């Protein structure tokens, strides 16, 4: 039963399906009427209501999870003629409880959505902790562009992994005996590498908010039992914050690397099995998906800041979900302006590029539009994650040519006004998409994506407002 059938053919097909059920047969239909081109579950058509009219038989909801990205999906705009995203490409088939024959398309679709949420538990067995996913990506694509900033142009995944191992070896004595370690660094290559160094060592990196008061910062440090805060001397001079406890400067930790250290880091990064690599860097127990990955603090506007504890599974599953929605590929590149102390910055611009093997270019200050525009242009970046407030600044400080390579502009953290979205689209030729989430959910809960239009097709991926 296809939505492309003529009305008379459609009625005949529905009648045939109804007669088959009455004869005791099982009839399986895809209630969407067409294969999704946007990676989302489409609205259910009303055809099965016609089939079930005057037929007292149960409706069994069935959900297929993992099909998107296989050769049997329209990911990348092609059917069959492409390599699957993963080999093997695992698919989960979930069956729900029988529904009455009077169930509406909305009720059946809601049951299917719940089954698809349950199916994520089956993905867990094949996921890896964040640092292990980063190591796997770096070893699979060593020469691919990984990250850059104003001081570190064009760092490959091979170089990123080697530098991470080097920093972890240098930090073993500094962080000895500590479970949670404080990081006070802006979005940058060193900031990203230190986070993964901590994860490889079995530490929990806590990226501290450098825009809050000294009292709020001290509360965050106290709640996590942090004794050592790693920062940059140059950065600390700029933010002018008084940091309680022992302060360690990254410039001193990474200073004067010896040839022997570099060689040891290189050999460890490439020759040691990942479990042995972690143990050589000080990890005491085997990494697990339910281990704590980070603590993200609220701003403290209603009292003491509250620390949200996110596991590797929380963040990793959110990364897989965002990958499905936006069909990321190796040519994509992220604009890394969101701070790592924000959940969207930690997941979206720190962990997601490293896990999925796409590039990211960092800039420490998201308000410097005149610096960010040329970075997007220079590296031909395709993804901008920002807030509506930042978009207003970019409209004033960036030219349309600067943002010519962007294919997705996504906003979160505050409501996107319709007038701002329209003005941004008029100036840059790309409409911002809006996402909703919360820190406790790692953070993305729901996001808009692009619509699909083609001859015979109109699939809606975004709802304004």
3-state SS string for 269-297: HHHCCHHHHHHHCCCCCCCCCCCEEEEEE
pLDDT digits (tens, 9 = 90+) for 163-216: 999 999 999 999 999 999 999 999 999 999 999 999 999 999 999 999 888 888
In angstroms, what CA-CA distances link 334 with 142, 342, 356, 385, 425?
Answer: 19, 16, 12, 8, 19
Could you tell me which residues come within 8 angstroms of residue 374 by beta carbon, excluding any fewer than 6 positions away? 402
Main-chain dihedrals φ then ψ at residue 391, nearest 5 degrees: -60, -35
∠ Cα 154 350 38 (to 5°): 100
How confident is residue 3, by pLDDT bands cut at 50, 70 and 90?
A: low
CB-CB contact of 417 with 391 (8 Å): no
pLDDT digits (tens, 9 = 90+) for 347-382: 999 999 999 999 999 999 999 999 999 999 999 999
Instruction: Return the structure tokens found at 211.
Output: 């825009």
Distance CA 435, CA 151 (A): 31
Residues 447 and 312: their CA atoms lie apart, in Å, by: 21
Q: Where are the beta strands (DSSP E) in 288-442?
A: 292-297, 307-311, 333-336, 359-362, 383-386, 408-411, 433-437
Q: Which of 299, 294, 295 is nearest to 215 (CA)?
A: 299
**pLDDT above 60: residue 8:** yes
Identify the pLDDT of residue 5.
63
Residue-wise pLDDT tens digits, 380-423: 999 999 999 999 999 999 999 999 999 999 998 889 999 999 99
For residue 4, the model assigns a pLDDT of 60
pLDDT at 129: 96
**Burial class of residue 123, CB neighbours in 10 A (0-12, 13-18, 19+):** middle
Question: What does the pLDDT look like over 243-289, one tens digit per residue?
Answer: 888 999 999 999 988 899 999 999 999 999 999 999 999 998 899 99
pLDDT digits 0-9 by tens, 84-95: 777 788 889 999
Report helix angle 157-171 to 189-200, nearest 10.
Answer: 60
Percent of the chain topping pLDDT 70: 98
DSSP state of 99: B
């Amino acid at each position: 039963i296809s939505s492309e059938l003529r009305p008379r053919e459609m009625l005949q097909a529905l009648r045939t399906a109804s007669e088959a059920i009455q004869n005791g047969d099982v009839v399986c239909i895809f209630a969407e009427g067409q294969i999704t081109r946007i990676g989302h579950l489409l609205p259910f058509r009303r055809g099965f209501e016609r089939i079930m009219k005057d037929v007292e038989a149960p409706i069994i909801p069935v959900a297929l999870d993992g099909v998107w990205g296989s050769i049997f999906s329209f990911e990348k705009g092609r059917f069959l003629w492409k390599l699957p995203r993963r080999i093997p490409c695992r698919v989960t088939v979930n069956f729900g409880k029988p529904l009455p024959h009077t169930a509406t398309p909305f009720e059946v679709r809601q049951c299917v959505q719940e089954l698809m949420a349950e199916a994520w538990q089956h993905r867990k067995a094949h996921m890896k902790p964040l640092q292990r996913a980063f190591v796997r990506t770096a070893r699979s694509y060593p020469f691919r562009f990984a990250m850059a900033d104003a001081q570190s142009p064009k760092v490959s995944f091979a170089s990123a992994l080697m530098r991470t191992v080097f920093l972890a070896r240098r930090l073993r004595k500094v962080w000895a005996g500590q479970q949670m370690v404080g990081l006070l660094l802006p979005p940058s290559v060193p900031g990203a590498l230190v986070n993964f160094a901590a994860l490889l060592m079995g530490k929990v990196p806590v990226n501290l908010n450098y825009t809050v008061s000294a009292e709020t910062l001290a509360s965050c440090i106290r709640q996590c039992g942090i004794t050592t805060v790693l920062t940059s001397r140059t950065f600390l001079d700029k933010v002018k914050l008084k940091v309680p406890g022992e302060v360690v400067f990254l410039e001193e930790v990474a200073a004067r690397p010896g040839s022997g250290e570099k060689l040891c880091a290189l050999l460890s990064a490439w020759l040691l099995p990942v479990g042995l690599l972690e143990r050589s860097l000080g990890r005491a127990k085997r990494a697990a998906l339910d281990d704590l990955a980070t603590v993200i603090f609220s701003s403290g506007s209603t009292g003491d800041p509250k620390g949200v504890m996110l596991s590797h599974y929380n963040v990793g599953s959110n990364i897989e979900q965002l990958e499905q929605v936006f069909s990321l590929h190796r040519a994509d590149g992220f604009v890394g302006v969101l701070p790592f102390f924000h959940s969207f910055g930690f997941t979206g611009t720190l962990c997601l590029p490293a896990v999925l093997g796409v590039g990211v270019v960092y800039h420490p200050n998201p308000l410097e539009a005149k610096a960010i525009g040329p970075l997007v242009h220079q590296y031909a970046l395709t993804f901008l994650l920002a807030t509506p407030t930042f978009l207003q600044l970019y409209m004033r400080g960036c030219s349309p040519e600067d943002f010519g390579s962007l294919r997705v502009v996504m906003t979160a953290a505050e409501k996107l006004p319709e007038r701002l979205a329209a003005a941004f689209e008029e100036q840059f030729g790309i409409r911002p998409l809006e996402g909703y989430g919360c820190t406790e959910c790692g953070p993305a809960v729901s996001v808009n994506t692009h619509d699909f239009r083609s001859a015979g097709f109109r699939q809606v991926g975004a709802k304004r407002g």
